[in-house]
Amino acid sequence: MALIIDGKKISQQIKDELKEKVAELKANGKTGALAVIQVGTDPASSVYVRNKKNACAYIGIGSLAYELPEETKEEELLQLIAELNTKEEVKGILVQLPLPKHICEDKIIQSISPKKDVDGFHPQSVGAMTIGQKGFVSCTPAGIIQLLKRSRIEITGKNCVVIGRSNIVGKPMALLMLRENATVTITHSKTKNLPEICKQADILIVAIGKPQFIGSAYVKEGAVVIDVGIHRDENNKLCGDVKFDEVEPIASAITPVPGGVGPMTIAMLMNNCVQSIEDK
Ligand code: NAP
């Protein structure tokens, strides 16, 4: 029986720690708000945005919501971000992705001041993380490190295989595991012999973006399996990139979907916001 890593519980612990920290900072005159920008009315994005605002309220920081119409011009969004970059009260700026096709995401991400880049997507934040300097770390990978550490799973010296090399999950994940002294292999759609490579992993981190793709043929007996994927199956039930029922019996620990990695992303976003308030 594998340890089921409880992301809901661990994220709640983190938010409670942050709530205390925010109260302390307030007592020392340090406050601030997260600005959340949504362009359009994509229902999934609306849920994420609402959860972020609720998390701000829970830990005791402000949130400013900017709900812009789908047809907002790139120029207008850049103008808003420029204003928020200089607004003292705003300590973090988050632009909910994906953006409508007529807006260049890279341009928008690069327009956010690295001092307020609480998503950790700005090239300066990514560069700082790569060379181990101070800066905001991308929330989902940072959350996975917390899941492992708080579940007392040793990382140093372990073979870690990351499936996926996206800029928001796979690449930063591999870098953070390297920082934690794992021996890291990154795999992607052009990787040959994926099951054999995955079978070498003591810690297998799956961010392939394909529902229930990874079964027991990819997992070594006793491996720790982290499932980053979020999808809806044919019955509209949430599922991950991993066939949980097949993999759980052979893993030593595994994250469920929902309730694994998902809740950690918002907790780490809050952590970045608090770090930003503290740094000012
Ligand atoms: P993505 O941008 O689609 O990247 C998927 C990666 O998987 C790519 O690097 C791709 O390789 C690789 N891949 C695709 N098919 C493969 C195959 N057959 N064999 C090996 N590698 C393959 O996805 P993402 O943004 O990283 O997200 C991954 C998953 O995590 C999605 O389900 C997403 O919804 C979820 N997610 C969850 C959270 C959370 O908070 N829990 C946050 C972010 C994302 P190439 O680079 O060669 O194309």
What single string gives the DSSP state of each residue in 226-244?
EE---EE-TTS-EE-SB-H
Q: How far is the CA of 23 from the centre of ligand 1 (A)?
A: 37
* Alpha carbons 84 and 68: distance in angstroms, whole number: 15
168 lines ligand 1 (CB under 6 A): yes
Q: How far is the CA of 208 from the centre of ligand 1 (A)?
A: 4
Q: Which ligand 1 atom is the nearest neighbour of the CA of 265?
A: 40
Long-range contacts formed by 110-113: CB under 8 A, 24+ apart: 111/78, 111/81, 111/82, 111/85, 112/81, 112/85, 113/85
Query: For all residues of the chain together, what is the average pLDDT?
Result: 97
173 lines ligand 1 (CB under 6 A): no
pLDDT at site 227: 98
Cα–Cα nearest to 54, from 15, 98, 14: 15
Q: Which residues are catalytic?
A: 52, 96, 119
Residue at 3: amino acid letter: L
Six-digit token string for 14: 């983190």
Q: How far is the CA of 42 from the centre of ligand 1 (A)?
A: 20
Confidence band (pLDDT; 50, 70, 90) for 91? very high
Q: Which ligand 1 atom is the nearest neighbour of the CA of 261?
A: 41
261 lines ligand 1 (CB under 6 A): yes
Strand partners, 90: 33
Q: Comparing 40-44, 101-105, 121-125, 144-148, which segment has the lowest mean pLDDT?
A: 40-44
For the beta carbon of residue 196, count every other beta carbon within 10 angstroms.
10
223 pLDDT above the threshold of 80? yes
280 pLDDT above the threshold of 90? no
Whole-angstrom CA distances from 187 to 99, 105, 224, 243 are: 27, 25, 17, 19
1 pLDDT above the threshold of 90? no
Q: How far is the CA of 164 from the centre of ligand 1 (A)?
A: 5
Q: Which ligand 1 atom is the nearest neighbour of the CA of 188?
A: 21
Secondary element (H or E) of residue 18: helix 7-27
For the beta carbon of residue 95, count every other beta carbon within 10 angstroms.
24
Six-digit token string for 25: 């900072």
